[in-house]
Amino acid sequence: MKKYFIPLIFSTFFFQFLQAQGCSDAGICSIGTLQENPDKAAKNQIEVSTILGAGESDTQYFSPSVTYTRNFNERWDAAAKITSSFASGSFGQRGSIGDAYLLVNYKPANGKIFKWSYTAGAKIPFNRANLKINNHPLPLDYQSSLGTFDFLTAANLSYKKFDLNAALQIPVFNINANSYFAEYSGTADFPTTNLFERKPDMLFRTIYTITTKKITFKPNLLFIYHLGEDTYENIYGRRLSIAGSQGLTVNGNLISTYNLKAASIELSLATPFVVRDIRPDGLTRKYTVGISYKTRF
């Protein structure tokens, strides 16, 4: 079992970091789990999940996703994930497919106490963050992707019942074509994000695992630091920094997993304790409730 246990754990686990781009605040807490794989022969895992959440102003979200993980051997595995997001609020309802994530995970030979794992991958957007309703440009809160190609890398350390994770998400190539101007929108609830450019995120997470016969609980804290002020182009065509968009987000999250024979059901509840002053990327959630079903074969 251990042969497959760690790689599957880390590949799944890293998706929690990936969601930093999609849900930089509470949303990151409600995706993915540290799911043990009790099936020795299982080389594949499919996860179907959805998140319900409340965002800025009156925005509410429904965000389904699907993930496929392939375990090649005790050292290597890979995963692909597709996300989508449906937002509703004063602007109306807008939903679309969001991003694809492609990841490779490597676990070197480890000692029995300290176990390391490393992950690298990419996020690929399916749109340019300029979805509209009735020709009206929409803030990033209503976009299913931020329109950036990102490089992602992470390191994970397991020690007894603790897991510690550090990750970096860097926008490498920006195709964001968002054209939302607050001054033309009729509301001041969302900042201007015309031709938005986003800075990288750095993440740190610590998890404690409590195991019962059928249910595993994973209370955890997630720290995200946004490494710089994001920018946009104003109505005069000048690029400006968004003051207050840099800074720390701290989330609390509880993941509860009910284990079945070759599957599991997971519930994730999350909320932020500390948020950045300004959150133009639309990733902030007041709370999220995530549920997922995983099957192994």
> Residue 235, SS3?
coil
User: Does residue 83 interact with another protein by CB under 8 A?
Assistant: yes
- List the one residue from 94, 107, 198, 279 that touches another protein (CB under 8 A): 94
Least separation in angstroms between residue 263's CB and another protein is 9
Residue owning tokens 């920094």 = 241
User: Does residue 211 interact with another protein by CB under 8 A?
Assistant: no
Residue closer to another protein (CB basis): 92 or 159:
92
Least separation in angstroms between residue 178's CB and another protein is 10
Residues 233-252 binding another protein (CB under 8 A) are 235-237
Q: 147: left (phi > 0), else alpha (psi -120 to 50), else beta?
A: left
Question: Which residues have C-beta within 8 Å of that of residue 93, sequence separation ≥ 6?
Answer: 86, 87, 133
Least separation in angstroms between residue 198's CB and another protein is 17
CA–CA dist 6, 76 (Å, integer): 10
User: Does residue 195 interact with another protein by CB under 8 A?
Assistant: yes
Which of these, 254, 2, 8, lies nearest to 117 by C-alpha position? 8
- List the one residue from 110, 187, 206, 211 that touches another protein (CB under 8 A): 187
Residue closer to another protein (CB basis): 96 or 256:
96
CA–CA dist 27, 62 (Å, integer): 11
Pairing of strands 44-54, 92-106: unpaired
Instruction: List interacting residues with another protein (CB under 8 A).
Output: 46, 48, 64-66, 68, 82-84, 86, 88-97, 128, 130-137, 177, 179, 181, 183-187, 194-195, 235-237, 293, 295, 297
